[in-house]
Amino acid sequence: MDNIIKTIHPFTEEVLKEYEMYDDDELYFMLKTSKEAFLDWRKQPLLNRIKFLTEMAGILDQQKEQYANLITMEMGKPYRESIAEIEKCIWLIDFYEKNTELFLADELIETEGQESFVSYDPLGSILGIMPWNYPFWQVIRFAIPTITAGNTILLKHANNVSGCALAIQGLFEEAGYPKGCFQTLFVTHKQVETIIENDWVKAVSLTGSEKAGRAIAAIAGKNLKKTVLELGGNNACVVWEDADLETYMDSMIKSRLQNAGQSCIAAKRFIVVESIYEEFLMKFKRALSDIRIGDPLDLKTELGTLARVDLAEEIQRQVDESVQKGAKVLIGNKRDKAFFEPTILVDVVPGMPVFDEEVFGPVASIIKVKTREEAINMAANSTFGLGTMLFTNDIEEARKQIGNVEDGALFINEMVKSDPRLPFGGTKNSGYGRELSREGILEFVNKKTVYIK
């Protein structure tokens, strides 16, 4: 039936649960509830809103095994990574509990007036459209700063993690947030347009594909609604000839295989200077071959299944077309339903899908270049701009590349990763706006100028 959502365990293909989508009357009621909740919630003193974070962090910690199991069952992430995801959510909540008062304090500015300052006021109901790959983290990193600033949240989560969506709503309710502050919506794409058009909804945050971002931005723009878009990535891992492979190979492998490669900030293109290329390839292949594959609920499993069969099929298309254009498979390239074997492709060049497109799975494309300069230029040869990582012992020379990297992040001798203390977001087709840190909490506030004379 068109109005039924099914969640499916990707490893066993078991149907976990069915959910009925909301009709237009139910949706209207929830939008109205969100608006009415905002009118009271925004009046709460900031310190009162911050107090809810302590309770929420405690619940997450007490029930993290239950939440982690749900993540793994719905989208196939290894259980050990699901636990880490919940722990990262706790870290973020703790960060905003300690820093929100400072972030939202009036900013005094000296003028000719008796008093002038910037006041940071909430906007209203904010729609979050969130992906399945980090089903708790993506929601929490958007929702916590946004709701603590005084807004209310409407969540449209990915259908295949609907259980996680309801669990997160339950988490907010158990922590004591007033009714209507956080609501999960089971709605169609057409209803999403209706939500954005509604005057009570003031802005949209989307984490997802470039295609989804363009569609949502068009609707929001037509309705003069602010958007924050965190879209796809095609991150480069640049390896200069003096890179310490012994120290950093684990980071490079993790940068490709974390969450089975289903991460916007994963390293997808490994651009290696030719003098270290053979050594890199040998060590990378050996490390990749040692990855423990199996049931994602097994604590020993490092790589499980992808989240859906169609995702694995899309990766197979990208690899096959790249091979037809001259890429060679060094290891891997076997698919079984939603599982895709860790794969290394060599002789990769621009114009191949595995170079040009985002490959959302455990496929590493290796590109050989002659010089450091060529490596940096090759990394920039992308329509995406989420992050670049550079491995080298020459830190001073690496610093000189900061201005040459157009992405939202440059990580030197470390994999690109999100951190509550640092702003997160991209450029080019990777979107715009920032999450996390002070920048994240200020995305959905009215920066109001107040002048008193």
Contact 20, 3 (CB under 8 A): yes
Rounded Cα distance between 213 and 217, Å, is: 6
Q: Say which residue the tokens 């008093």 belong to.
A: 115
Confirm whether 230 is a catalytic residue: yes
Q: How far apart are CA 100 and CA 281, in angstroms?
A: 46
* Cβ atoms 48, 34 nearer than 8 A: no
CB count within 10 Å of CB 261 equals 24
**Do the Cβ atoms of 305 and 336 come closer than 8 Å?**
no
* Nearest C-alpha neighbor of 314 from the set 343, 288, 295, 338: 338
**10 token code pair:** 């990707």
Question: Which among 193, 230, 314, 435 is annotated as catalytic?
Answer: 230
CA–CA separation, 357 and 338 (whole Å): 20
Exposure string for 191-229, b = 16+ CB within 10 A, e = fewer? bbbbbbebeebbbbbbbbebebbebbbebbeeeebebbb
Nearest to 71 by CA among 166, 158, 135: 135
Active site residues: 230
